[in-house]
Structure 1
């Protein structure tokens, strides 16, 4: 820990918003304090501001601020290992295939696991660990946000690397997927709920056999909840009354609620559906499928729709085929895709509860859902991003006002706060203000003759007509197009600064961008060649991404206006001298590309930034950085010259990045994703996703063997001809980062 003044120590020990809530929840007679002068809006004394170095600095409010990043940066790395900053250490906690129930064998990691019993993965960890949250588990087995030594860790399993899951990779015969392999993959997707405990040595472990341990997967029964419950678009052969569906898929980032539940957010769900007959669909359905990327032909990304349902129960393969095959929607799965694309609420404290898809929060490629500051008597607000090129940032504002008595209210509280509310899309204006556009204001009968495809600004001549008020929830993207939201460069993770309520969101990249605007101001060539931007090959557009942030008017989360700037611009090492690319003045200690995951420490106020990159990985594997966040307006207005890329000259407002340092670099071909922390701030949980994903095939050694060492020892790409051995296939996993001296992470 860096040396700190008495003033800094006082700031560090100041209670966070959650701790203030907990204090008063413990004493119901004092809950009224949340309605008065000590409500969230009055917590400005906790605000952080930009700081250009170690020590303290004065923020816009004049309050002394703590510099929360006191470690030395980890160097860039191409090693097949996890590299952490000096004074830090990590442990591997929870890997693909790890058993969570007693009587389940250790994972063989050779493709043989559950080969003939796919449902065994109900009792094992899934793959591609992603968004997660740590719920402290109190003595009465309910959520206690102050408990760090025991908790429920809820983890998304976004996708799979099929190559490593089967003995010889995925197989098919005559274009038909092997049934057991495909079923196994379906169980591996989804969510884990596992109890974890911290031992006297400071290391966490999974409590195998805990009654809380649970896997939610593509076969888990789900309720359709909110305004789309029972509407015709929800009708399928599985649920003729349109009130239920099976499973959740491609859960990326996540969220938690003030009442103690978890939100698993469905992102790239559209690609899993195949289609063998698209005739007979209405113009609106065709427009919707194009806008969301649902196939009009083909087998889907994993080919599950090709499997044979002969001898199977419940048509596990046919349900992925959205072809019109019967007389009505109740006779087939033509509407199955309409039952995906939502935030899925899971109660981790009630293992037998049925998850609910919260349709009032909209249907799109949900990256995650992040709750804004909560105040008794005021609506509950969630911020959301739609992760695709030229997509939008959204906000959901509950109709019901928050009542602290709903703490631990479970899914019934979710019914109250998440099934009724207003859904907004963000418009970012050139004067650095913005508006939240209410999607309910798009009138019935509105007709558009062209609609965008998924992730593209190109148009296709399909007529779409707004038919009723539910269109904003079912076809959220289309309604946002009409409303006039600002198309963004892949809105991914968000995070809310607990010290001042400002909201940050990563815009990871957009290599299709050809014109710029103030909120997405860069169009340039990725400088892989001579760097003059003329006639170069390689990617063009916003190649390295940025982080945008905003402050709601009056610091009221439910406001319909906001002020904004851009906190951070990504760049590569060969662009560090280009002021139109390296706008944030990055150096070797903090250069990064494609910001993705975000997390604010509730304990220290540190902002963590993760990367998911393909442009910079010839120089370094993906990474985790830590920063002092600052506040909106702490930077300057500047001009970005995109003329060499024909992107034009754009005026934008850049924030003061302040202290930004690299805490971790991951193994080969992995994404660093998913963050949560112990409430005491002494443990940071991070996911290492899909190491070695570009291996190609199993006839040669994997490009990564993390968390194992490669044959012959060492790390990196193995020699040609080296054959992988049992136990050497790479595995996605959750790790826990701690300081060697047991102190606060990030200090």
Structure 2
């Protein structure tokens, strides 16, 4: 499997690259997940849980191809009561018979201040500060007084597309602009108001929504509505607070920073606050420091992919014409005599889990550094036990990165425990063994080689360099760990491993695109006595994604017409144990030709964890990623996000006023990410 360690010279040329994906940064010799699985097959001839064969296209000719006859209907389940929808190539939302949907909280919708109206491609930065951000991802509904008809929505905004935000402005309108394009003036500078708008479109939107008399849902003005954006003041808590790693010109004592970036998935604490995860944040910064005309990045920049390009990473915010401090900080080059005089440490203030109290607009958000610094996809809590530690999990969404677990030092006390419990504890990285067992490797001073002699001075140093610590400890390199969830019935943990295309350029062609793992899989693990604090676990694969001949289920079957999918991303188990699976195959449009075409547009499916039955529940419009899912407490209303519709559109089409998708307005204006509200026509529980 050594070929899987190779990558493209330019990672943006790899199949399924999405705007903002970081380059491969893990050069450690730790085994990857495929090597573990291969060894397991060679030793035992099967995978735990009954998965007896794996598709040849995924693991090689030594394994027999799954016969398409195994793609029979899975055992009937009382858990899934809807008729599955077919694969779709249409620019629309498709839900099962007997269901309906509406649009809620699209990008640009006003939520605060004087409620500035959405003007497609023409809003100002000041207006965007009071509007819902762009590119929705993780989402949660916080009921007000336990209501299933009135609550606060918290929704992440993963990134932006400047060409859509500024579509009607000079420098964009009629310009051949792709999703990386930003307009620069003759001096190579950026317009300040455009930067202000982009900064405001990041982060998290919190707004109240209420079910109306006609059954629809609406955004409601409320004092709690607000934005936590890329410039919002945020406290740093935990072991890294006050350390030299986060000393900046803005915070010489290393206790504060500004903003949260690239907010992907999320988590909800047992004390009812919102956690937002900073994922591909490294690409927002530039560091042009050199020695002997070669880049000279500290390890806490290099291991995470901070750009060495003078124009910077994704948007060049540090090039704002005014030179305002809130924008200059995205240049992490050494400029002053000490760290307190520049922003060389600014990237170290990102890559964390951030806690937000949705009910208190005056509460300062907090970065919980004990949970580690990496490309967090989200965070999921194990069921809480009074008098026992808090346990939560997070995946590092990049190729060959790791899965992590945090166990608090203090124990959970209902009504007393708050976010400070997350500031002291032990962070672990997962090692998956060949025999179906696994172990958690402590990332703590003096353990697993994390000593000063090996370059880890103290706990703060370990946490700022979490990836390097996991390298040293010997964790198993995974295929882009995405969302996780916990089955409320069994306590089993599920994690989506979305894909990993790792081939040389010469190996890629339209017919043979699967030298690597193009379709992804879902891994799960369990503990003796369902005790999540244990250091050991047992694991198997719930499903290897793909089509009839390239997929496998733990029960020995395969996916069929109503269940085939690729690139699992979002995962969520509802209170009834339905496992909701969302896909992210990239920015696929109607003209796509390639290995993922058979799966149509990105979709959401529902699974029965006990039987393995899977049914496709919905499909979305062109170019979007299906991501973020939650229901009201009664399970009768579901909120799902569609991110970056139209992102597949070419620069030439944009110049001609063709935007790739009409969603959600279908009036010729630029497409917008939005939340879709799904209900049953008979008012029943979603999915039942």
Q: TM > 0.5 between the two?
A: yes
1:178 deviation in Å? 1.8
Q: Which of the numbers 493, 496, 500 marks the counterpart of 2:486?
A: 496
Give the whole-Å Cα distance in 1 for the aligned partners of 2:523 and 2:508: 21
Measure, in 2, the Cα distance between the counterparts of 1:730 and 1:282.
42
The 8 Å contact of residues 277 and 325 in structure 1, kept in 2 or not, is answered as no
Matching residue within 297, 313, 316 for 2:309: 297
Matching residue of 2:150: 150
Q: State the distance in 2 between where 1:363 and 1:316 align.
A: 22
Residues 342-351 or 280-289, more deviating? 280-289
Give the distance between the partners of 1:297 and 1:393, measured in 2 at CA.
30
Flag the 1:350–1:279 CA change in 2: closer, same or farther, 3 A: farther
Q: Which residue of 2 aligns with 1:606?
A: 578
Contact 2:543–2:552 at 8 Å: present in 1 too?
A: no
1:215 and 1:624, CA in 2 relative to 1: closer, same or farther beyond 3 A?
same
In the alignment of these two chains, the number of paired residues is 589
Q: Is the aligned partner of 1:232 residue 2:272?
A: no
The 3 A distance-change label for structure 1 pair 596 and 513 is: farther
Q: Which of 95, 103, 111 is 2:106 aligned to? A: 95
Kept after mapping to 1: 8 A contact 2:627/2:642: yes
Task: Give per-residue Cα distances to partners, 1:662-694, cap 9 Å, x unaligned.
Answer: 111000000000111101011111001000012
Counterpart pick for 1:433 among 437, 458, 469: 437
Alignment of 1:729 with 2:683, yes or no, is no
Report the CA distance shift for 1:325/1:279 in structure 2 as closer, same or farther (over 3 A): farther
Q: How does 1:398-477 map to 2 (within 5 A)?
A: 398-406=408-416, 413-415=418-420, 417-440=421-444, 441-443=447-449, 445=451, 465-477=455-467
| Distance change >3 Å, CA 231–CA 354, structure 1 → 2 | same
Partner of 1:79: 90
> Could you tell me which residue of structure 2 aligns to residue 180 of structure 1?
193
Structure 2 Cα separation of the partners of residues 120 and 225 of structure 1: 31
Task: Map 1:532-571 to 2 at 5 A.
Answer: 536=512, 538-571=513-546
Which deviates more from structure 2 when the two are superposed, residues 699-708 or residues 337-346? 699-708
> 1:309, 1:316 within 8 Å by CA — same for their partners in 2?
no
Any idea what SS the aligned residue of 2:409 has?
strand
| Contact residue 280 and residue 324 of structure 1 kept, 8 A | no
Whole-angstrom CA distance in 2 between matches of 1:665 and 1:199: 26
Give the Cα–Cα distance (whole angstroms) in 2 for the partners of residues 282 and 260 of structure 1: 48
Q: Which residue of 2 aligns with 1:702?
A: 659
| Alignment match, 2:634 | 680
Q: Which runs of 5+ in 1 are unaligned?
A: 1-48, 57-66, 139-143, 449-464, 515-524, 530-535, 631-655, 711-724
Report the CA distance between 1:280 and its aligned residue: 11
User: Cα deviation per residue 1:308-341 (whole Å; 9 max; x = unaligned)?
Assistant: 334x4xx122100000000000100000000000
Offset at residue 539 of structure 1 (A): 4.6
Contact 2:443 2:450 in 1 (8 A): no
Change (3 A) 1:579 1:157: closer
Superposed CA offset, 1:508-537 (max 9, x none)? 0001179xxxxxxxxxx99942xxxxxx4x
Residue 119 of structure 1 and its aligned partner are, at CA, apart by 2.8
Equivalent-residue separation in structure 2 for 1:593 and 1:560 (angstroms): 32
Q: Distance in 2 between matches of 1:494 and 1:659?
A: 19
Deviation at 1:577, TM superposition (A): 2.7
Give the SS at the match of 1:563. Answer: strand
TM-score, structure 1 as length reference: 0.76
What CA distance in whole angstroms lies between the structure 2 residues aligned with 1:740 and 1:580?
A: 34
User: Does structure 2 conserve the Cα–Cα contact (< 8 Å) formed by 1:593 and 1:616?
Assistant: no
Q: Which residue of 2 aligns with 1:20?
A: none
Aligned position for 1:62:
none
> Residues 629-671 of structure 1, C-alpha deviation per residue, up to 9 Å, x if partnerless?
12xxxxxxxxxxxxxxxxxxxxxxxxx6x21111110000000
CA RMSD of aligned residues (A): 2.5
Q: Is the 8 A contact 2:116 2:130 kept in 1?
A: no
Any conservation in 1 of the 2:112–2:225 contact (CA below 8 Å)? yes
Cα distance in 2 for partners of 1:446, 1:404 equals: 39
CA contact (8 A) 1:553 1:560 kept: no
Structure 2: segments with no counterpart, 5+ residues: 1-49, 52-71, 173-181, 587-593
- The CA distance in 2 between the partners of 1:71 and 1:527, in whole Å, is 38
Give the TM-score taking structure 2 as reference length.
0.82
CA–CA separation in structure 2 for the residues paired with 1:150 and 1:284 = 52
C-alpha distance 339-501 of structure 1, shift in aligned 2 (>3 A):
same
Partner of 2:127: 120
**What is the CA-CA distance between 1:705 and the residue it aligns to?**
1.2
CA positional deviation for 1:699: 1.9
Q: Which residue of structure 2 aligns with residue 741 of structure 1?
A: 682
Q: Is the 8 A contact 1:54 1:69 kept in 2?
A: no
1:559 is displaced (CA, Å) by 0.9
Q: Contact 2:483–2:570 (CA<8 Å) still a contact in 1?
A: yes
Map Cα deviations across residues 235-268 of structure 1 (whole Å, 9 max, x no partner).
0000001000000000000001011111011000
Query: Is the partner of 1:317 in helix, strand or coil?
Result: helix
Deviations 1:336-389 (A, max 9, x none): 000000000001111011000000000000000001010100011111000000
Q: CA deviation at 1:284?
A: 11
Considering Cα pairs closer than 8 Å and 6+ residues apart, tell me whether 1 or 2 has the greater RCO. Answer: 2
1:690 to 625, 644, 652: 644
Pair 1:228–1:284, CA change in 2 (3 A)? farther
Structure 2 matches for 1:24-423, cutoff 5 A? 53=74, 67-101=78-112, 103-109=114-120, 111-114=121-124, 118-138=125-145, 144=146, 147-166=147-166, 167-168=168-169, 169=172, 170-173=182-185, 174-207=187-220, 209-279=221-291, 286-298=298-310, 299-310=312-323, 312=324, 315-406=325-416, 413-415=418-420, 417-423=421-427
| Equivalent pair of 2:496/2:570 in contact (CA under 8 Å) | yes
SS at match of 2:127: helix
* Deviation of the 1:580 alpha carbon: 8.0
CA–CA separation in structure 2 for the residues paired with 1:600 and 1:265: 19
For 2:84, what is the secondary structure of its paired residue? Answer: coil
Distance 1:370 1:281, change over 3 A: farther
Question: CA 1:282/1:393 → structure 2, altered by over 3 Å: closer, same or farther?
Answer: farther
C-alpha distance in 1 between matches for 2:307 and 2:524: 34
Structure 2 counterpart of 1:453: none
